[in-house]
């Protein structure tokens, strides 16, 4: 799998799991009309021989390729308390979905079950003037590769 394919797989999975719009392949013309929206960005790519953190996947004697990926989750900002609760719920849905299907619907070889979510900054403004409430959900996906 190529890095762009890993980002696309994660973004499509999240959009499907949440019923959100996805921007993969092209940026939306008007962000506000696309909310709620999920965007994926790969932060880090690694190739690891004998990775100890993936032993539960049976990869202790294999080489794996892993991508640390941020999902930026954007919702309509008003009212703020409703938007914040929506983001809390969305993060919980994604975490639970990973436990139910760590292959993300067959899109990846595996997903690490340790995840991280940040709700800071709570609000962002984009170049087009769109304001949104935001959460960032960080997850690691990977695949076994030839040594």
Domain count, the chain: 1
The helix (run of H) or strand (run of E) holding residue 145 is strand 131-145
Show the tokens assigned to 137: 């959900």
> Could you tell me the maximum CA-CA distance found in the chain, to the nearest angstrom?
52
Whether residue 42 contacts residue 68, with contact meaning beta carbons closer than 8 Å, is answered with yes
Least confident of 7-16, 57-66, 85-94: 57-66
Q: In Å, how far from its chain's centre is CA 23?
A: 13
The length of the chain is 147
Q: What is the pLDDT of residues 12-35, one digit of tens each?
A: 999 999 998 887 666 666 676 788
Least confident of 38-47, 51-60, 100-109, 118-127: 51-60
Q: Which domain holds residue 136?
A: 3-145
**Its pTM surpasses 0.85:** yes
Q: What is the pLDDT of residues 73-106, one digit of tens each?
A: 999 999 999 999 999 999 999 999 999 999 999 9
**CATH code: domain of residue 104:** 3.30.2000
CA within 13 Å, CB half, 53: 12
Whether residue 8 contacts residue 41, with contact meaning beta carbons closer than 8 Å, is answered with no
Percent residues over pLDDT 70 in the chain: 86
Which residues have a Cβ under 8 Å from the Cβ of 85 and sit 6 or more positions away?
A: none
Least confident of 26-40, 96-110, 118-132: 26-40
Report the candidate in 88, 130, 84, 137 with the shortest Cα–Cα distance to residue 114.
137
**Given this model, what pLDDT does residue 26 score?**
63
């Amino acid at each position: 799998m190529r890095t762009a394919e890993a980002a696309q797989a994660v973004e499509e999975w999240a959009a499907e799991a949440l019923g959100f719009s996805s921007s993969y392949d092209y940026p939306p013309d008007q962000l506000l009309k696309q909310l709620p929206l999920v965007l994926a960005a790969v932060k880090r790519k690694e190739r690891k021989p004998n990775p100890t953190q993936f032993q539960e996947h049976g990869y202790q004697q294999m080489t794996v390729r892993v991508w640390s990926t941020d999902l930026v989750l954007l919702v309509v900002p008003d009212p703020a308390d409703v938007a914040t609760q929506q983001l809390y719920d969305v993060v919980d849905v994604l975490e639970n979905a990973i436990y139910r299907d760590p292959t993300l619907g067959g899109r990846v070889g595996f997903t690490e079950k340790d995840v991280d979510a940040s709700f800071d900054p709570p609000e962002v403004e984009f170049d087009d003037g769109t304001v949104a409430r935001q959460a960032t959900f960080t997850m690691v996906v990977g695949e076994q590769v030839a040594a």
